[in-house]
């Protein structure tokens, strides 16, 4: 039974260790459809949602992303990932990539949250992964875009990793309620 929307929003959290078990195709279809149900400016729907279940390809994207991060003059992101186990994609068995038109970051964010919340409501753990862009940042970027059937002119907006937590019971950040202001 899917969980209530407010409860889903409260319990979604970032999972950084996945088991090998992949979500069912039926659940993935439901989640991807929730993604493309997102509203967009002028209803342009300037995105794709690419459901990637090919573990081999996920590993190749991860390897390429880590290589590109390691080549950055600033090593801080690379080192942070190393302290978390060295896995950009945390062993996720599945990911949804969201390629977008160049001015569509806000639309992309809404798609992403729809995906994360739909997955959470189905008991599937997620990680919204901005660093996935580094998988496409090097010489192999165009090859990957072609393999993944990115629309011409689209670049990766973001990716969402999906699967089941190796260590269940993860919790989200503590929200700062002081960010809410009331003007009566
Ligand atoms: C736009 C965006 C990009 C993110 N990119 C990454 C990422 O590349 N790698 C990662 O481990 N976490 C990433 N996160 C997860 C955040 O670190 C996480 O949402 C934040 O620490 C709050 O924790 P919570 O999601 O568990 O509440 C990203 C989150 C957002 C919203």
85 close to ligand 1 (CB < 6 Angstrom): no
**Atom 23 of ligand 1, residue of closest alpha carbon:** 173
Q: Is residue 153 part of a domain?
A: yes
CATH code: domain of residue 151: 3.40.109.10
What number of CA atoms fall less than 13 Å from residue 132's CA on the CB side? 23
Contacts of 31 (CB under 8 A, 6+ apart): 23, 96, 115, 118, 119, 122, 124, 162
**What is the rounded CA–CA span in Å between residue 42 and residue 181?**
30
Token digits of residue 141: 């970027």
Rounded distance from Cα 17 to ligand 1 centre (Å): 13
Q: What is the DSSP letter of 52?
A: E
Whether 110 is in the pocket of ligand 1, judged by its Cβ within 6 Å, is no
Q: Is residue 173 part of a domain?
A: no
Question: Is the residue at 178 inside a domain?
Answer: no
Q: Is residue 179 part of a domain?
A: no
Can you give the pLDDT at residue 32?
Answer: 98
9 lines ligand 1 (CB under 6 A): no
pLDDT at 69: 96
Beta carbons within 8 Å of 1's beta carbon, 6+ residues apart: none
pLDDT at residue 1 in the model: 67
Is 68 exposed, middle or buried, given 0-12, 13-18 or 19+ CB atoms closer than 10 A?
A: buried
Residue 52 domain-assigned (yes or no): yes
User: Does 175 reside within a domain?
Assistant: no
- The predicted model scores a pTM of 0.97
Ligand 1 near 98 CB (within 6 A): no
| pLDDT at position 29 | 98
**Domain total of the chain:** 1
Of all protein residues, the one whose alpha carbon is nearest to atom 29 of ligand 1 is 128
- Between CA 169 and CA 175 the distance in angstroms is 18
**Integer Cα distance of 79 and 53 in angstroms:** 27
- Domain-embedded: residue 124: yes
Domain annotation covers residue 79: yes
CA of 109 to the centre of ligand 1 (A): 12
Distance from residue 184's CA to the centre of ligand 1 (Å): 33
The pair phi, psi for residue 99, each rounded to 5°, is -75, 145
- The residue range of the domain holding 118 is 5-167
How many CB atoms neighbour CB 11 within 10 A? Answer: 15
Q: Render each residue's pLDDT in the chain as its tens digit; 184 residues.
A: 666 999 999 999 999 999 999 999 999 999 999 999 999 999 999 999 999 999 999 999 999 999 999 999 999 999 999 998 999 999 999 999 999 999 999 999 999 999 999 999 999 999 999 999 999 999 999 999 999 999 999 999 999 999 999 999 999 999 999 999 999 9
């Amino acid at each position: 039974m899917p969980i209530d929307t407010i409860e889903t929003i409260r319990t979604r959290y970032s999972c950084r260790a996945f088991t090998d078990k992949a979500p069912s195709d039926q659940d993935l279809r439901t989640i991807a459809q929730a993604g493309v149900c997102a509203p967009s400016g002028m209803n342009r729907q300037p995105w794709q949602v690419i459901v990637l279940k090919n573990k081999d390809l996920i590993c190749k994207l991860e390897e390429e992303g880590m290589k590109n991060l390691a080549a950055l003059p600033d090593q801080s992101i690379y080192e942070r990932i190393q302290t978390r186990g060295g896995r950009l994609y945390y062993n996720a068995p599945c990911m949804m990539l969201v390629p977008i038109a160049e001015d569509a970051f806000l639309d992309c964010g809404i798609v992403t949250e729809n995906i994360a919340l739909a997955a959470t409501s189905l008991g599937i753990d997620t990680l919204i992964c901005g660093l996935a862009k580094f998988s496409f940042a090097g010489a192999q970027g165009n090859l990957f875009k072609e393999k993944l059937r990115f629309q011409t002119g689209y670049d990766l907006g973001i990716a969402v990793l999906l699967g089941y937590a190796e260590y269940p019971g993860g919790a989200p950040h503590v929200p700062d309620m002081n960010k809410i202001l009331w003007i009566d």
